[in-house]
Structure 1
């Protein structure tokens, strides 16, 4: 018997543009101890399906049809007071963005205690003990200390762990995880998903895992439902779906993912067009306008789910994973050799941030965000920086563009030390150094039109007349693939992928020589992600851009970057050509990161694939890092030398540079995928 049974669910929402139906006839089931993955692009109805099950719909939203049964009880018939007792105790949801779900003026401990005491009659001490226990379960470093922290004092990964702890406080029967690891690095992602997987088995808990990452689905889901346009278009076991996808949309999603085997000279496959807006829909298959195989019957009738154990709603299903005809695939022209001229130099750069002590009159402490990084970036190259949350990647990027000044050491651009220049001279240099931030929605002023946002750097630098700026805005919109009419619209009127294009156009306005892109596609669907990555490559070929791409996605960096630097607790521990770093990682930390990458392949090898990240132990504090090699507390190869002597980043055995006393050798690397 299924723990959750959803049958013919239909949800409608009244909007200013009209009545839309984001969930249209969805049927799915989750058994106890099972993970059902729900995958699809933004706007496909994944999250709204989860919110409908929770009965947490936005204003104007209502369930207009279908059934939701949890452990035999019909949820659609419960009044709101009873439903409140169900949420949290029997049914819990982990939301995608923890900062919109956590109260910024309350401590983590108070929010966890509240979630527990609402449903369990307990004392404050018992609630505190439970909160500490659950924070420990989700891998929070020093859980007892974290109870007194506020959300803004935690990294993104730690905030997501708090969200998961909130969902698990009362041991729910069903956990709905809505993109729980989207913005997390691969090692923490693997830890979180493995944790949910283990708890699912221990507690016989059902899990509805909503994600756009097919690699996560391949490794952590038992069955999968693919959604498009508010409908389930394919549903089967994971192995069956990856080996024999039937719906053309499923094939396109699989083809659009960057993998470690992808040729860097090949463009990523993309899905033309965009998902339907679910308003005044034309008859027929909702994927037909984007499908290369659509025929007349696809445009006149809506296909139903058929196929027994492998359901699919397609009049012309595929018979295997043939990709070429399903999606737009291009071959990138071989780029000109990258320039060897040194453009940016970092020499022994350190960055420390002061931290106020919790105890009065206690000595001040400092977070060692970046410790002794020396690096050279050549003109026209793409350098990738990868590492776990808190390793110093973003701080390093901010110092590269002058948003942070190093505590010691120097950052030079084109032969001139940025910190030594006058304010006027530094402002002129800033024209050549621009940054794309991770959250484009937060980085773009919602009160300004797109034209004003893109032109703002030109205005700030006093470049051009109004007519020249308008012409530049039009050229940049065309360069990033947006229509001219986008200029008069506001950021909130665009999708995530379109906002990232706007952010890129803004970064290009001053024709900078260096763009630092901080997690540019971490929260985007795989199809939109492919479009942005192709765009970045094409703009680099056109304008000769130098990119520094900060990411936790190693597959992305292998495809995009010429060289990759791996950071751990403020130090650069490995640096080399992208292909070399992946085919022969020299540092144990790099090997562990590669091992943690979820692979979007057939599930037949899931039992053989190691789910362990290879990164045991707890991430040390950047306030009091380990002596010697910072990674030694988690390294299986650590010796006494590692505790007393700091390893220096240098070439090893004629190969790329590594900061390790015991670098890995080729025969050790064979199991690393």
Structure 2
């Protein structure tokens, strides 16, 4: 028997541009203890479906048809008070963006206590105890201390854990998880997904998992519903869908995914165009304008869902496997410029440390500091792409900000083309900054909402007093064309664009001064896989066109395997491994690197769902462990690891590892690795 049954659900939203129908005749069911995955691009209706179930629609939105039955109760027939009694208690939702979902003026503890006290009527002490319990449940380090923290004091991964804890505080029967692991490190992502699976089994909880990550779906969903244009276009058990996708949109999603086996000398497949706006739609299949297999019948009629197997149905006139003349090659081969070693280093980082002072605890308390970066040395060669990977709090972004001069090292030196930043005067440093630009992780926050796109892109030119107004306008037009945006985008505002389009605007802005080095901080972390493919192809084409050097900071190891020439792995402020992408992924030497690779979710539901490869609690950067900082989580650790700091020593021509007991490097990256050294005892 189904715990949740959605039948013919229709939702409409009144907007200035017309009446939008983001959910149009959607039907599905979820049983207790089952996970249904909802996948599709931004704008496909996934999130609005979840919001419609619990009646949390934006202004002007309303459910206009269909029914939603939860545990025998029709939610569409309940009044607002009735829905509020269920929401947060029997039905909970994990929102996609914890920074905007959490109240910045209230502590974590007060936000956790709120739902418990409202629905369970517990005392303050009982609510505190429950808050600590759920924070422990989601793996929050030092949970009792976090009750007094504010959201801005936590990392992105920690904020996401708080959101999950709020959702679980009343042990709901149904959990709607909207992109619960977006922008999280693979290790944290694995732990959180494992936690949700465990809670689902223990509480017989039904889960609606909304995500664009097909690897997450493969490993954690029992059934999958693919949405496009506000409708479900294919639904099947997970294994059946991955083994034999039928709808052409589902097939295109699979083709767009980067993976560890992908040849770096081919472009990623992309889905041309953008999803429909869902306003005054005409007849025909909604995917037809973007589908290379579309025929006349696709443009004149909208296909209904038809069964093709046990519990497998799709809505496509020309499904995968039918004869067609439009079956084009998936990917175009390209020449990849190998920059490493081709010339001298354009950037040199020498024994760099960065400490951030913290407020004292009490008037006479000791001085404390976050050891964000500790003794990092590396070189970046002209024309190459250097990837930096690691968990949240490892120092990746701090390194990136120091490379472009937004932060200054506490110790050590950073030199650009042989000149140290520390020795430059203010004007000289400002001129050098033209050659060093940064793409920030959150393009929505990095672009001023009060400025047009043209003004955003031209702002670096204005700040550096480059060119006349007409010359700047010409540069803006050229850059918008280079990043694939229409000319009329110049007069619009950032909020009028999708996430992928805003990332293109951010890229155009970074290129305005014709820099030599671009530091990209999580450039595609929150984008759909089809949009990710477009941005990655664009980054590589712009690198070839403008002769760029990239430093790409990411938690997505599949992305770096495809994009980067060399990869540096960071852990708690230190660089622990450095080598070519083939060396690091094909034969990892550091146990931490091996654990990160084992944590990557693969789009293959036939693989065994093991536990998270990296367990344990991430140590504090205020008081890091002695010796090797990874030793508290490493099964290979010995007494030597606690006493001596391992040095990043070259192994072969390029591969370097900082480990007293490195792996042999003989094992493939995706097979179980023997992490135990000979003759040592596990800790």
Aligned with 1:374 (options 373, 377, 380):
377
Pair 1:310 & 2:312 matched: yes
Distance 2:377 2:337 in 1: 28
Question: In the TM superposition, what is the alpha-carbon distance from 1:320 to its structure 2 partner?
Answer: 9.3
Distance of aligned partners of 1:479 and 1:629 in 2 relative to their CA distance in 1, 3 Å threshold: same
| 1:108 CA drift (Å) | 0.4
Q: Secondary structure at the match of 1:630?
A: coil
Q: Answer yes or no: is the 8 Å Cα contact 2:21–2:279 preserved in 1.
A: yes
Distance 1:127 1:180 in 2: 24
Aligned to 1:630: 629
CA distance in 1, matches of 2:562, 2:427: 38
Q: Decide whether the 8 Å contact of 2:569 with 2:577 is kept in 1.
A: yes
Instruction: State yes or no: 1:228 paired with 2:228.
Output: yes
What number of residue pairs does the alignment pair up?
A: 669
Structure 2 residue aligned with 1:461: 464
String of CA shifts for 1:77-128, please: whole Å, max 9, x gaps: 1110111110011000000001111111111011111111000121111100
Q: C-alpha distance in 1, partners of 2:668/2:244?
A: 31
Paired position in structure 2 for 1:477: 480
Partners in 2 of 1:540 and 1:76 — Cα distance?
A: 52
Structure 1 residues 2 and 251: CA distance shift in structure 2, 3 A? same
1:358 deviation in Å? 3.6
1-side partners of 2:448 and 2:670: how far apart? 48
Question: What CA distance in whole angstroms lies between the structure 1 residues aligned with 2:113 and 2:202?
Answer: 23
State the partner residue of 1:615: 614
Q: Within 2, Cα distance between the matches of 1:174 and 1:342?
A: 54
CA distance 1:464–1:619, change in 2 (3 Å) = same
Question: Are the counterparts in 2 of residues 594 and 672 from structure 1 also a CA contact under 8 Å?
Answer: no
1:311-330 matches, within 5 Å, as 311-319=313-321, 325=327, 329-330=331-332
Q: Are the aligned partners of 2:183 and 2:525 in contact in 1 as well (CA < 8 Å)?
A: yes
Q: How does 1:186-201 map to 2 (within 5 A)?
A: 186-201=186-201
**What is the deviation of 1:219?**
0.6
Once residues 333 and 256 of structure 1 are traced to their aligned partners in structure 2, the CA distance between those partners, rounded to angstroms, is 20
Partner of 2:38: 38
Return closer, same or farther for 1:304/1:672 CA change in 2, 3 Å cut-off. Answer: same
CA–CA distance in structure 2, aligned partners of residues 328 and 207 of structure 1: 34
What corresponds to 1:183 in structure 2?
183
1:8-19 alignment, distance < 5 Å: 8-19=8-19
Matched with 1:237 is 237
Partner of 1:663: 662
Q: Distance in 2 between matches of 1:321 and 1:254?
A: 20
Q: Say if 1:218 and 1:599, in contact at 8 Å, map to a contact too.
A: yes
Alpha-carbon distance, 1:326 to partner: 6.5
Give the SS at the match of 1:119. Answer: helix
Quick check: 1:596 aligned with 2:631?
Answer: no
Q: How does 1:128-147 map to 2 (within 5 A)?
A: 128-147=128-147
Contact 1:251–1:321 (Cα < 8 Å) also in 2: no
Could you list the per-position Cα deviations for residues 606-650 of structure 1 after superposition, in whole angstroms to 9, with x for gaps in the alignment?
Answer: xx342x232121110000110000000000100000000000001
Partner Cα distance (1:135, 1:318) in 2: 45
Flag the 1:96–1:323 CA change in 2: closer, same or farther, 3 A: farther
1:85-164 equivalence runs, <5 A: 85-164=85-164
Rounded Cα–Cα distance in structure 2 between residues aligned with 1:400 and 1:333: 28
Between the aligned partners of 1:106 and 1:89, the Cα distance in structure 2 is: 21
Determine the C-alpha separation between the residues in 1 that align with 2:403 and 2:323: 43
- Alignment partner, residue 562 of structure 2: 559
Instruction: Note if contact 2:255-2:330 (Cα within 8 Å) is conserved in structure 1.
Output: no
Shift of 1:485: 1.0
Check if 1:448 corresponds to 2:447.
no
Name the structure 1 match of 2:502. 499
Structure 1 residue 462: deviation in Å?
1.0
Partner of 1:586: 589
Q: Deviations over 1:172-225 (max 9, x none)?
A: 000000001111010000100110010000000000000001110001111000
Give 1:237 deviation, angstroms: 0.5
Q: CA 1:412–1:436 in 2, change beyond 3 Å: closer, same or farther?
A: same
Residue 492 (structure 1) shift: 0.8
**Which residue in the other structure is 1:51 paired with?**
51
* Residue 210, structure 1, aligned to residue 210, structure 2: yes
> How many Å apart are 1:355 and its aligned residue?
1.2
Is 1:536 aligned to 2:535, yes or no? no
Indicate how the Cα distance of structure 1 residues 91 and 321 shifts in structure 2: closer, same or farther if over 3 A, else same: farther
RMSD, aligned CA: 1.6
Q: Distance in 1 between matches of 2:319 and 2:372?
A: 52
Instruction: Return the offset for 1:652.
Output: 2.9
Q: Secondary structure at the match of 1:367?
A: strand
The whole-number CA distance in structure 2 between the counterparts of 1:259 and 1:382 is: 18
- Once residues 134 and 164 of structure 1 are traced to their aligned partners in structure 2, the CA distance between those partners, rounded to angstroms, is 9
Alignment of 1:407-422 (within 5 A): 407-422=410-425
Q: CA deviation at 1:324?
A: 9.2
Higher deviation after alignment, 501-510 or 358-367: 358-367
Give the direction of change, closer, same or farther, for the CA distance of 1:628–1:212 in structure 2 (3 Å limit): same
Q: Distance in 2 between matches of 1:246 and 1:410?
A: 56
| Change in CA separation of 1:519 and 1:426 when aligned onto 2, cut-off 3 Å | same
Match of 1:74 in 2: 74
Tell me how far apart the structure 2 counterparts of residues 234 and 19 of structure 1 sit (CA, whole Å). Answer: 26
Q: Distance in 2 between matches of 1:336 and 1:554?
A: 19
What SS class does the counterpart of residue 12 from structure 2 fall into? strand
Find the aligned partners of 1:104 and 1:163 in 2 and give their Cα distance.
Answer: 13
2: CA distance between counterparts of 1:512 and 1:53? 48
Q: Distance in 2 between matches of 1:382 and 1:78?
A: 56
Match of 1:549 in 2: 552
Contact 2:337–2:384 (Cα < 8 Å) also in 1: no
Distance 2:119 2:314 in 1: 41
TM-score (norm 1): 0.98
Q: Within 1, Cα distance between the matches of 2:371 and 2:207?
A: 38
Task: Map Cα deviations across residues 47-83 of structure 1 (whole Å, 9 max, x no partner).
Answer: 0000000110111111010010111111001110111
Q: CA 1:255–1:422 in structure 2 vs 1: closer, same or farther (change >3 Å)?
A: same
Q: Tell me by how many angstroms 1:325 deviates.
A: 2.7
Secondary structure of residue in 2 paired with 1:226 = strand
Q: Displacement of 1:341 after TM fit?
A: 1.5
- What TM-score does the superposition give when structure 2 sets the normalisation length? 0.96
- Structure 1 unpaired stretches of 5+: none
- Counterpart in the other structure of 1:257: 257
Secondary structure at 2:567 match in 1: strand
Secondary structure of the residue that 2:606 maps to in structure 1? helix
Structure 2 vs 1, CA of residues 171 and 545 (structure 1 numbering), >3 Å: closer, same or farther? same
Q: 1:473 to 1:328 in 2, by over 3 A?
A: farther
Q: How far apart, CA to CA, are the structure 2 residues paired with 1:486 and 1:119?
A: 48
Q: Secondary structure at the match of 1:536?
A: helix
Residue number in structure 1 paired with 2:438:
435
Q: Secondary structure at the match of 2:625?
A: coil
User: Could you tell me how far apart the structure 1 residues matched to 2:654 and 2:471 are?
Assistant: 50
Contact conserved, 2:266 with 2:333, CA < 8 A, in 1?
yes
Give distance in 2, aligned partners of 1:639 and 1:369.
25
